[in-house]
């Protein structure tokens, strides 16, 4: 059974293991994980990470030290374990019995999970689960459990080993649990109407967890509930720009829907012109429509369903701004090129055609009721105009098209 409280930690001779953030091992106030024994402590980290897994000695040594070749892996591992046991005893001042912590299993060795130890990652997991188990029946205790769990998370699991493949699944598990625990604590605070608490919780977290959509949504909601509408709108704009610039995408449909509802609270619309703008669509002077990617995506789906009955053709054109080497241009050149392309599309497309800037370097065009030969003509016209009007020597237009239905 897993140990899940501070009572175990207070007993004399407990091996305290810290893995969330920088690794350390202590007995009382004595630090016993010294740098001079890095190789043995790496083996220790492996054994506490591979919980309830018995790995062959050769596999363990190959994983930890792939550049080293040994003639007798079983004997080598046995010697390493012997040294580890001695380190625990000597560095603890003989408070610990090294034999208690490692067990022989199937020709190999495992950590003894029934020994006298305390592990921060295990405690973190237990506290988070306890908080979940008692909410919503006891929100006060749930809140304290979640806060205690988060206090233990001082960084990624065994962060001093960033490139070890064998650590990645466990590291991701605890990172996901950290994110989940933050979100669940935020929901507890929201249910208690402690929106200032939600803001305080997430303000620092979002400096590091920048792409967690649900945390951004909860943060914005907390700001609105406190009537901090200007700040909520500023954070909304920041998130939308962040996703476009860093990932080349907009936030997912669920978050976009949340943000749309939030935006209505901040800016109630009455004027039909504002409503039209909020729908994401603008009529350009020559009659084509320029819209945001969300609206464009919805329109494509609607038109696809419509033409199944009418048998009308729909073509989708992709126009990408690239350098001669195929890479995305630098930001100033990209923005100027995008503005030129938007202007050309406005002048070139027909009334009723729809286009959007899908990402920083890509525009999409929806052409309705047109034959493929005419699509090719339109694409050539766009390319010719861009080539004639562009003043950027190493900026090119890459065009493709396909039949949508």
Tell me the CATH number at 313: 3.30.70.270
For the stretch 154-183, pLDDT in tens is 999 999 999 999 999 999 999 999 999 999
- Report CA-CA distances (Å) from 79 to 198, 305, 332: 52, 70, 61
CB 212 within 8 A of CB 175: no
DSSP lists the bridge partners of residue 322 as 396
How far apart CA 344 and CA 94 sit, in angstroms, is 80
Identify the CA nearest to 390 among candidates 326, 324, 325, 292: 324
How far apart CA 193 and CA 189 sit, in angstroms, is 6
Under DSSP, the state recorded for 157 is: B
Q: Is residue 83 situated within a structural domain?
A: no
How far apart CA 190 and CA 196 sit, in angstroms, is 9
Q: Is residue 373 situated within a structural domain?
A: yes
Q: Is residue 358 situated within a structural domain?
A: yes
Q: Is residue 104 situated within a structural domain?
A: no
Q: Is residue 193 situated within a structural domain?
A: no
Q: Is residue 383 situated within a structural domain?
A: yes
CA atoms within 13 A on the CB side of 190: 18
How far apart CA 6 and CA 77 sit, in angstroms, is 33
How far apart CA 287 and CA 353 sit, in angstroms, is 8
For the stretch 335-374, pLDDT in tens is 889 999 999 998 888 877 889 998 888 999 988 878 788 8
Cis peptide before 264 (omega within 30 of 0): no
Q: Is residue 386 situated within a structural domain?
A: yes
Tens-level pLDDT at each residue, the chain (405 residues): 444 445 444 455 799 999 999 899 999 889 999 767 889 999 999 999 998 889 999 999 999 999 888 889 999 999 999 999 999 999 888 888 989 999 999 889 999 999 999 999 999 999 999 999 999 899 999 999 999 999 999 999 999 999 999 999 999 999 999 999 999 999 999 999 999 999 999 998 988 888 888 899 899 989 989 988 888 888 887 887 777 766 666 666 666 666 666 666 665 544 445 445 545 444 444 457 888 887 788 778 777 777 666 567 888 899 988 887 777 788 888 888 999 999 999 888 887 788 999 888 899 998 887 878 888 899 999 999 998 898 887 888 888 888 876
For residue 234, what are its two tokens? 């500023």
Pairing of strands 117-119, 24-27: unpaired
- Domain carrying residue 377: 282-403
Q: Is residue 377 situated within a structural domain?
A: yes
For residue 355, what are its two tokens? 């286009």
**Helices 213-225 & 168-191, crossing angle to 10 degrees?**
20
Q: Global pTM? A: 0.64
State the total domains in the chain: 1
């Amino acid at each position: 059974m897993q140990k899940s409280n501070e009572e175990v930690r207070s007993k004399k001779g407990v091996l305290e293991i810290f893995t969330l953030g920088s690794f350390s091992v202590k007995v009382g106030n004595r630090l016993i994980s010294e740098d001079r024994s890095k190789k043995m402590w790496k083996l220790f980290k492996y054994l506490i990470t591979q919980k309830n897994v018995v790995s062959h000695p050769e596999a363990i040594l190959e994983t930890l030290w792939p550049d080293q070749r040994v003639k007798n892996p079983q004997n080598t591992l046995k010697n390493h374990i012997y040294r580890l046991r001695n380190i625990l005893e000597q560095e603890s001042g003989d408070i610990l019995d090294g034999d208690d912590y490692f067990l022989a299993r199937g020709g190999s060795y495992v950590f003894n999970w029934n020994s006298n130890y305390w592990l921060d990652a295990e405690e973190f997991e237990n506290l988070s689960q306890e908080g979940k188990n008692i909410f919503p029946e006891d929100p006060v205790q749930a809140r304290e459990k979640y806060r205690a769990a988060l206090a233990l998370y001082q960084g990624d699991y065994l962060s001093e080993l960033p490139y070890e493949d064998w650590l990645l699944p466990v590291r991701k598990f605890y990172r996901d649990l950290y994110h989940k625990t933050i979100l669940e604590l935020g929901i507890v605070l929201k249910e208690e109407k402690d929106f200032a608490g939600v803001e305080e919780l997430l303000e620092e977290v979002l400096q590091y967890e920048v792409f967690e959509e649900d945390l951004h949504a909860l943060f914005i909601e907390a700001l609105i509930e406190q009537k901090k509408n200007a700040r909520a709108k500023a954070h909304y704009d920041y998130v939308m720009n962040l996703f476009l610039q860093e990932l080349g995408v907009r936030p997912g449909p669920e978050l976009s829907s949340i943000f749309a509802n939030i935006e209505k609270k901040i800016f109630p619309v009455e004027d039909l012109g504002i409503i039209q703008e909020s729908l994401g669509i603008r009529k350009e002077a020559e009659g084509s429509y320029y819209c945001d990617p969300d609206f464009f995506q919805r329109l494509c789906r609607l038109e696809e369903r419509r033409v199944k009955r009418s048998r009308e053709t729909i073509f989708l054109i992709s126009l990408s701004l690239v350098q001669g080497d195929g890479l995305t241009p630098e930001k100033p050149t990209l923005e100027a090129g995008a503005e030129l392309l938007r202007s050309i599309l406005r002048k070139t497309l027909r009334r009723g055609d729809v286009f959007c800037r899908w990402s920083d370097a890509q525009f999409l065009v929806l052409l309705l009721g047109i034959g493929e030969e005419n699509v090719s003509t339109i694409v050539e016209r766009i390319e010719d105009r861009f080539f004639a009007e562009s003043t950027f020597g190493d900026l090119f237009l890459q065009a493709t098209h396909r039949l949508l239905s």
